[in-house]
Structures are given as structure tokens and as C-alpha cells.
Amino acid sequence: MRPSLLSQTPEELSEIMEGLGEPSYRGGQILEWLWQKRATSIEGMSNLPARLREHLKESFTLRSLSPAKSQGSRDSTRKFLFRLHDGRYIECVLIPASPALYGERSDRRTLCVSSQVGCAFGCKFCASGLDGFTRNLTADEIAGQVLLAEELSGEKVNNIVFMGMGEPLANLPQLLKALELITSPWGLGIGARHLTVSTSGLVPQIRKLADHPQQIRLAISLHGASNDVRDQIMPVNRKWPVDELFKALSYWTKRKNQKITLEYILIDGINADPAQARLLAQHAESLRAKVNLIPYNTVDGLKWKRPPEEECHAFRDILAARGIPATLRLEKGHDIDAACGQLRLKEEHAEKQDLS
């Protein structure tokens, strides 16, 4: 497989140009074609000499993703399924600003991107882990989701959350490179403060990312406030239990001086009782964290369901009574398989059936 031009940094392109005996400004021209002019073919990079275009075509691919399917929902959340060069699928979701949270005139467009094909972490409620882990995405496959989603939607993405398929911190080297492609002025130019990396709780990588100079934001898929609850639904907790996780989070808040978001999917009969709410409030208070409560989206093949609405409200009220900023999101995209990994699973299973 030839490497993708999209994953090259200015330094790498400069080196390539030097090796080819080309002036170094050619690297800048290529970057402009890739990120600003959004070239769809190397041939179309008209200000590059023909011999250089030929060489680039032989040595690189332009992009490694192609659109496979898109679904729009009633609330205009859109989900995209992309095909990778090896026939695998990943998905990302474009979410418009909620007027309730950001006001009627907000132009916030959030893209939720994937970082791996499948996931090895096996959270019991999650569609992404159902078929296990296949492979890490490369940096250009991660950043390429933004380019392709913008082209397909005709909208400019200005906020990115790494909450799609996969555990981003289990793919840290490629994630860091993708952050460079996304935040650099020569790349997508989206400010680091508009990027949120979400993790199920990989303690050593949280500490590493805390030391990274960019002011990216952190969200934790917590989904249980005590070890007994978290152990039941998130195997990662056996390796890094709640107290170790919160030590790492407190290290993060000291290094970055910013609020962490605790994501908490409410699952009926598992983690939605008042005792968990009180414990969650204590944790959030100790970190001065925000909490996002998300009633569970049913996943085909899994037994979990969302609690009754009044239980969700009661959970939120316990947090609010303790002064914890908590939102209860009736999750967008419920009607388009927006729970991460569902659309891709359907597509891959349908293909397997076609082949059998």
C-alpha cells in the first residue's frame, strides 16, 4: 500500500522534494492543494510540473477513504460510512449545535470521528467492540474523515470529538499526528480547544496526553461511579480502577487547567440509581468536572436499555443539587444508528451475508 500524501507534514514534504531535486516551495504547493483547494486527484494539481505529478502518482495515494453511505436524521444529525483502502468501514457523525445548549444562532458543527476499526476494549454496551478489534487508523484516515464529511455535507466542521469507533488513546502515535494535521494552519486549522479526545480510561496515556503541549480537551467515558459497576460493563476498569483513573484525571486538570467532561451513559438497572448519582457527584466535585448524561441508545444484539425518563431526570437532579454542571442529552441521531459502530456493523454483516 502506497502512503497517503495527506499524512505528510511540511517537513516530510520538504525532504521528499529535496530528494527529487525539486525546489522546497513545491511542498507548500502540495499542502495547499490537499487542505485548502481540496484536490481530488494528483493529476489536478495544475501548478506542479508533469514529471512531479507522475512521481507522486507512482509513490503516493491521494486519499485513503471513500464515501460508502450516508444517513440523515430528522434533527439533521448526519452519519457517514466511509470505506477504507482495505475494504473495512468506519463511521463518523456530523452533529449540528443544539439550540438549547448553544443558542439559536450557533454555527457550531461537531464531527464525531473514529480512531480505530473496531475496538479491543469490549465495553459491554457498545456496538464498536462487538466484532473485536481489526486495526488502528492512520493519521490521514482520521483527519481525512473531516475533509470528506465537509465535502459531502457542504458544511464547515469547527469542532471535533474523538468519540466514534475505537479507543483513541490506544492509537496514540497516529492520534497525535492527526492532531497536527487538524490543528496546523497549513492543515485544517481547527484550534486545539475545539478538539475533545474521549477515552474509556487508559491511565498511562491520559498522563502522556496531559504532558502534550496542545490545549486539547478530555472526556472520560465513565459510565459507572464505583468499581463494582464499572467492572461489570467496562473491562478496562480491571486494569485501571476508578481511584487510579481519578488520580490521572487530577494530574490532567493540574497540567491543563481546564474542565474535564465525564460522559455517563444511563443504563437501566445497571448504573442509573441514586447511589451512583451521589458517588458521581463526589467525583465530579473533586475534579470540578462537567457531566454529560446520555440515556442509552439501544444496540441490535445487546440486552441493555435506557431507564425511564423520570429516572434519568432524578439522576440529573441529584447532580444539580450538588452544584455539578450536568446536561441530560436525549441523544441526537437515535433514529440513524448513531450509537457508535452500529452502521458499520450492519454494513460488514450484510457484505458477509452477500458473500456466503
Of 138-157, binders to ligand SF4 (CB under 6 A) are none
Q: How far is the CB of 345 from ligand SF4 (least distance, A)?
A: 12
121 binds ligand SF4 (CB under 6 A): yes
Place of cell 486549522: 189
337 binds ligand SF4 (CB under 6 A): no
**CA–CA dist 273, 17 (Å, integer):** 61
Q: How far is the CB of 251 from ligand SF4 (least distance, A)?
A: 21
Per residue, the 3-state secondary structure of 281-300, as one string, reads: HHHHHHHCCEEEEEECCCCC
Q: Where are the beta strands (DSSP E) in 214-337?
A: 217-221, 261-266, 290-295, 326-328
Looking at 55-63, 69-77, 165-173, 211-219, which segment touches ligand SF4 (CB under 6 A)? 165-173
22 binds ligand SF4 (CB under 6 A): no
172 binds ligand SF4 (CB under 6 A): no
Please name the amino acid found at residue 67: P
89 binds ligand SF4 (CB under 6 A): no
Q: How far is the CB of 15 from ligand SF4 (least distance, A)?
A: 36
Q: Which is the catalytic residue, given 119, 126, 312, 340?
A: 340
Looking at 115-123, 150-158, 300-308, 324-332, which segment touches ligand SF4 (CB under 6 A)? 115-123
User: In this structure, what C-alpha cell is assigned to residue 237?
Assistant: 476498569
196 binds ligand SF4 (CB under 6 A): no
**CA–CA dist 221, 181 (Å, integer):** 25
Looking at 68-76, 100-108, 163-171, 181-189, which segment touches ligand SF4 (CB under 6 A)? 163-171
39 binds ligand SF4 (CB under 6 A): no
Q: How far is the CB of 236 from ligand SF4 (least distance, A)?
A: 7
128 binds ligand SF4 (CB under 6 A): yes
Contacts of 262 (CB under 8 A, 6+ apart): 219, 220, 222, 280, 283, 284, 287, 289, 290, 291, 292
**CA–CA dist 25, 138 (Å, integer):** 26
* Closest of 148, 86, 85, 88 to residue 113, by C-alpha: 148
- Decide if 91 is catalytic: yes
Q: Which is the catalytic residue, given 22, 91, 141, 263?
A: 91
Q: How far is the CB of 126 from ligand SF4 (least distance, A)?
A: 3
123 binds ligand SF4 (CB under 6 A): yes
249 binds ligand SF4 (CB under 6 A): no
Neighbours of 352 (CB within 10 A): 9
Q: Checking DSSP bridges between strand 261-266 and strand 290-295, what pairing results, if any? A: parallel
Contacts of 1 (CB under 8 A, 6+ apart): 61, 85, 86
Q: Checking DSSP bridges between strand 109-112 and strand 116-118, what pairing results, if any? A: unpaired
Taken in order 220, 223, 229, 233, the sign of the CA dihedral is negative
Considering only the C-alpha atoms of the chain, give the largest distance between any 2 of them, rounded to a whole number of Å: 69
Looking at 160-168, 209-217, 270-278, 316-324, which segment touches ligand SF4 (CB under 6 A)? 160-168
Number of chain residues interacting with ligand SF4 (CB under 6 A): 13
Residue 129 or residue 295: which is nearer to ligand SF4 going by CB? 129
Residue 33 or residue 121: which is nearer to ligand SF4 going by CB? 121
Of 207-236, binders to ligand SF4 (CB under 6 A) are 221
119 binds ligand SF4 (CB under 6 A): yes
**CA–CA dist 152, 108 (Å, integer):** 17
Looking at 27-35, 162-170, 252-260, 308-316, which segment touches ligand SF4 (CB under 6 A)? 162-170
Contacts of 123 (CB under 8 A, 6+ apart): 129, 200, 221, 223, 233, 234, 235, 236
Residues catalogued as catalytic: 91, 340
- Could you list the residues that contact ligand SF4 (CB under 6 A)? 119, 121-123, 126, 128-129, 165-167, 200, 221, 340
